[in-house]
Structure 1
Amino acid sequence: MLKNPIFCAVDRPDLEGALSLARTVAPHVGGIKLGLEFFTAQGPRGVEAMQSLGLPIFLDLKFHDIPNTAAGAVREAARLGVAMLTLHAAGGRAMLEAAVEAAGAVRARPQLLAVTVLTSLDAHDLAATGIAAPPAEQAVRLGRLALAAGLDGLVCSPQEIEPLRAAFGGAPKLVVPGIRPAGAGDDQKRTLGPARALALGADALVIGRPITGASSPAEAAAAIARELAAEAS
């Protein structure tokens, strides 16, 4: 587990607003997560600007394409010097292995994380796509595929932390979105509180709207950090 496991999800398109938000929460978090909305609007230069704050960057673009295309995308993203980068495990072993090889050719190799089952999906949603397995079973299946391909860790909902740890032990890094402090609610379906997620074996917690949507993002981030520190002591 990281010293401060909180990665604040700064998912907004405007660079100045994103920088301002990141500066505000920087004293209370361990890193910044940048997603598709930010990257589509700001591109690599936006990532470089956010790196000026000195926090690790988790670039969550969830690459999913044919092996050659995914490898090229990973190579270029890795050159940005980010700490973590995501791909969909459902892209298959050939795609994942190509990504690992591409990342290995970059001097400052990021950790590659495989997205298992999105936190917005439940068993009914999976069934609608032709997947009969429940989310936990599917997450373990995809996790096994990704780790065999050489990835460093997995992205999973809090509900899949226990089955993934049972299946793979403590080695793979588990990065967990869907973290919701008491009273928070939105379109995420498989959520859990931050302290409980860490206790189950999460390494990093991705927290967005409970921080960024608060009247004081800095205080919201600080409150979660205090809660985690108290649980750890």
Structure 2
Amino acid sequence: MSNPVYVAIDVPRLDAAKVLAEKVKGHVGGVKLGLEFFCAHGHHGVMELAHVGLPIFLDLKLHDIPNTVAGAMQAIHVLEPAIVTVHASGGRAMMEDAKAAAGENTKIVAVTMLTSLDENDLSRTGVAGSAHDQVMRLAELAEAAGLDGIVCSGQEVGSVHKQWKNGFFVVPGLRPAGSNVGDQKRVVTPRQARDDGASVLVIGRPISKAEDPLAAARAIEATL
């Protein structure tokens, strides 16, 4: 992948999403569409963004019983996404069925721990141990289930890469040096994540909310 940056376009207006994607497409490697976009625009919206000519990452974080997740995966075949997310906490059977139902050219990656969470949040949900330990446990489960890779923060990707040499690692919650971290709790710079083994760098607000999104995308690309 020549440019690992996927710009996160989670906006409610389709016209604004298309304008942003067209504006930055020369300096990113793909487009990430999440729940807000998909719930607002569905299949039609994804197809409209596909006209921009960039790979589409559907960040749907599917998490349900295995049969339901497999059915959802089959329902998006027509969209030909490059990447789709499921939750690793859905268990091995769910991840196995998700992978089996996915399109031939679609990578399935498991979300391990949201970058908006920290160890205090884990404890409140009944999960003992550190964020690092939780990510490593779920990465091992995802690999055993036959998935292509995982989603984790930049703070864990180096360790996961050492454990899973040929895995495909998506790192969100990235912030260029000196920028506002917002609601993210476990952040690193795009360059650090890439150096530690990230395959895809998901960057949203530092590009989408910038005064000049094109300049912001170009500046991030230059650091890589």
Relative to the length of structure 1, the TM-score reads: 0.94
Give, in angstroms, the shift of residue 93 of structure 1: 0.7
Inter-partner Cα distance in structure 2 for 1:12 and 1:36? 10
Partner of 2:37: 38
User: How many residues are matched?
Assistant: 223
Give, in angstroms, the shift of residue 77 of structure 1: 1.9
Q: Calculate percent identity across the aligned residue pairs.
A: 52
Structure 1 regions of 5+ residues with no counterpart?
229-233
Inter-partner Cα distance in structure 1 for 2:199 and 2:100? 24
Of 42-51 and 179-188, deviating more is 179-188
> 1:68-119: per-residue Cα shift (whole Å, max 9, x none)?
101101111233111000000000011111111111xx4x431000000100
Partner of 2:52: 53
Give, in angstroms, the shift of residue 120 of structure 1: 0.4
1:188 maps to 2:187: no
Inter-partner Cα distance in structure 2 for 1:190 and 1:210? 16
| Cα-Cα RMSD | 0.9
1:172 maps to 2:167: yes
Inter-partner Cα distance in structure 1 for 2:162 and 2:84? 24
SS in 2 for 1:159: coil
1:217 maps to 2:213: yes
SS in 1 for 2:113: coil
Structure 2 regions of 5+ residues with no counterpart?
none
Relative to the length of structure 2, the TM-score reads: 0.97
What amino acid does structure 2 have at the position aligned with 1:84? I
> 1:111-163: per-residue Cα shift (whole Å, max 9, x none)?
00000010000000000000012111111111111111111011000011122
1:22 maps to 2:21: yes
Instruction: Determine if contact 1:78/1:109 at 8 Å carries over to the other structure.
Output: no
Runs of 4+ displaced beyond 3 Å: none
Match of 2:155 among 155, 159, 171: 159
Inter-partner Cα distance in structure 2 for 1:177 and 1:90? 18
Inter-partner Cα distance in structure 1 for 2:54 and 2:36? 20
Give, in angstroms, the shift of residue 166 of structure 1: 2.3
